[in-house]
Amino acid sequence: MRIANNFPGGLLFGLLLPALALFIYAMIMRDDTGLWQYLAETQRVRLLSPLLSLAALLNLAAFYFFLQKNWYKTVQGVITATLGYAFLILYLKFVL
């Protein structure tokens, strides 16, 4: 699937970019624990939602990059993915 000016490509890009950033951060910061144990620990100490918020900020760069190229359908996908992350962050922050 080409990412050039289509909604699914922007949605996929918008979902994977913050997830990849969080994965890289977790791989750097964790000690001898596994990835899932580290993420569970960050959720236990209420750090996962701020980390996801920072990771989702990367979508802002993608938004402006695709907007500069006039790929408006891709921009819609990135915005949709960012809204999905926003709902996940609110769920983690206020429900769990």
pTM for the structure as a whole: 0.86
Count of domains forming the chain: 1
Helix (H, G, I), strand (E, B) or coil at 37: helix
pLDDT band (50, 70, 90) for residue 39? confident
- Examine residue 14 and state whether it is found in any structural domain, yes or no: yes
* Structural domain includes residue 89: yes
Q: What is the pLDDT of residue 70?
A: 92
Token digits of residue 81: 């993915």
Segment 22-37, tens digit of pLDDT = 999 988 888 788 888 9
Residue 43's domain comprises: 7-94
Whether 55 is in a domain gets the answer: yes
Q: Is 57 helix (H, G, I), strand (E, B) or coil?
A: coil
Residue 2, phi-psi category: left (phi > 0), alpha (psi -120 to 50), beta (remainder): beta
Does some domain include residue 1?
no
Question: What is the band of 3 on the pLDDT scale with cuts at 50, 70, 90?
Answer: low
Answer whether residue 37 is part of any domain: yes
Ramachandran angles phi, psi of 29, nearest 5°: -85, -20
Does the residue 56 lie in any domain?
Answer: yes
Per-residue pLDDT band for 2 (boundaries 50, 70, 90) equals low
State the pLDDT at residue 35.
84
In this prediction, what percent of the chain has a pLDDT beyond 90?
73
Task: Name every residue whose Cβ is closer than 8 Å to that of residue 43 and which is 6 or more positions away in sequence.
Answer: 92, 96
